[in-house]
Amino acid sequence: MNVACIGAGYVGSVTAAALAVLGHAVTIIDIDEMKLDNIRNGKSPIYEPGLEELIRKTAGQTLSVDTQYESVGGADVVFICVGTPSKADMSADLTFVKAAAARIGKHLNPERYTLIVMKSTVPVGTTDMVTSILEEVSGLQAGLQFETVSNPEFLREGYAVEDVFYPDRIVVGSESVKAEAVMKALYLSMLTRDVYESLRELLPPVPEGRPEPVWLRTTPTSAELIKYASNAFLAVKISYINEMARLCDRLGSDITEVAAGMGLDSRIGNKFLQVSSGWSGSCFPKDTAELLATARKYDCDLQIVTAAVRANHEMHIYCVKKVQSKLKSLQGKRIGVLGLTFKPNTDDARKSQAEVIIRELCELGSHVKAHDPHGAAMFRSLNPDLPVEYCDEPERLADKADALILLTHWDCYLTLDWANLIRKMRTPYVLDTRNALHRDEMLSFGYDYEGLGI
């Protein structure tokens, strides 16, 4: 099929590259020339493991780029993959969605059927709104020359290539049999995996126990809510296990043992029971905020989600208080922060836990040094007001440090020469917010080591 993908960000670039590898003719449309130049040259516009290999394989062949929307006129399917940031009131800003819809409408071909797919995470009712914009701008009638569907993405940053080829489910929000048939034809290779053997050098291995995806057709509004409800549920689960970790700190229990025991219950499962300094990033904070904004609009009080958001912020501050308690005062203390992205294997530092924690440390008088192997540039650009000393090498954070805080469990931090790093520190205190380091080993090196809930 001929596919146009509006947006070269985390969702658009992965979706487009995957479809191009599967043989579809895909054009990525974006106004960011730097991103497009990277793609033209076979490079990924973002840091995402495995993505550059897909782009290198397809660039200039089944994958092309453009700043203009002319390719929409020849497309069978058009994906909208633009950003939906939060506004001041924490509701989703649909400016980019509306602009993309209007430009798509100007280029729809009345002589052919085009399916417009809402891939961005958007509030309930947005797909219908896009339909209205398309009708108004194009003068065409929905259901005849074009149709719209909701097809939310469920990609994990750092594992997006795995997730796009081996999804748990494919959700299509549409009441049209024809639109569903087009989507099934587009995703046929992902549903059957019939061509994956020939692409095994490019694709990640099939995750253990991952069956072929479930196809779920719903109404557009249900599909839109599925995305928000899923992310909010995961946020609640993380907030819950983090609260249990805080209780374990008081009781002297071990949260890793507690989480393992909980996860053996098939009704609970072992995923998202890993302790952290709190959930963060470009999705969970934004999506929980929009879900709450939608609920308020319809006079519905989502008390559990509200509590999860509050508990999550308290977890960020709890980590700072642990350091403060250990050092007695943070005034003038030198603190090294390992990790600025919200998780490993991504350069995405938007709304990361590091922003809240570092800001609190600075306000309490600390001198903060920080490192991240891929996300430092983005973090710095997003937080120009933070008086942080950024280091190119993680070892530099230990120089005369009073504390090191492991926020993001990048592999490069787990393999540091911790035995010798202690000699550089003024106070050998390490707070491991991911319980990722080996406690007994760290203690044997002489560190005053603390995890969360252990």
Instruction: Tell me the binding residues for NAD(+).
Output: 30, 35, 84, 121, 157, 286, 350
Instruction: Name the active-site residue from 283, 300, 391, 412.
Output: 283
Q: Are 407 and 353 in contact (CB under 8 A)?
A: yes
Binding residues: 30, 35, 84, 121, 154-157, 227, 272-276, 286, 343, 350
- Report the alpha-carbon distance of residue 305 to residue 303 in Å, rounded: 6
Q: Are 242 and 312 in contact (CB under 8 A)?
A: yes
Could you give the 3-state DSSP secondary structure of residue 368?
A: strand
- Report the alpha-carbon distance of residue 309 to residue 327 in Å, rounded: 28
Compute CA distances 433 → 49, 230, 269, 318, whole Å: 24, 25, 22, 11
Instruction: Kindly state the DSSP code that residue 215 receives in the 8-state scheme.
Output: E
Binding residues for substrate: 154-157, 227, 272-276, 343
Which residues are paired to 448 by β-bridges? 429
- Report the alpha-carbon distance of residue 306 to residue 336 in Å, rounded: 32
- Report the alpha-carbon distance of residue 454 to residue 244 in Å, rounded: 11
Could you give the 3-state DSSP secondary structure of residue 142?
A: strand
If you search the block for the tokens 């250990």, which residue do you land on? 326
Could you give the 3-state DSSP secondary structure of residue 26?
A: strand
Active-site annotation holds for 283 = yes
Q: Which residues of 340-361 are buried (b: 16+ CB within 10 A; e: fewer)?
A: bbbbbbbbbbbbbbbbbbbbbb
Q: Are 115 and 24 in contact (CB under 8 A)?
A: no
Residues with a known catalytic role: 283
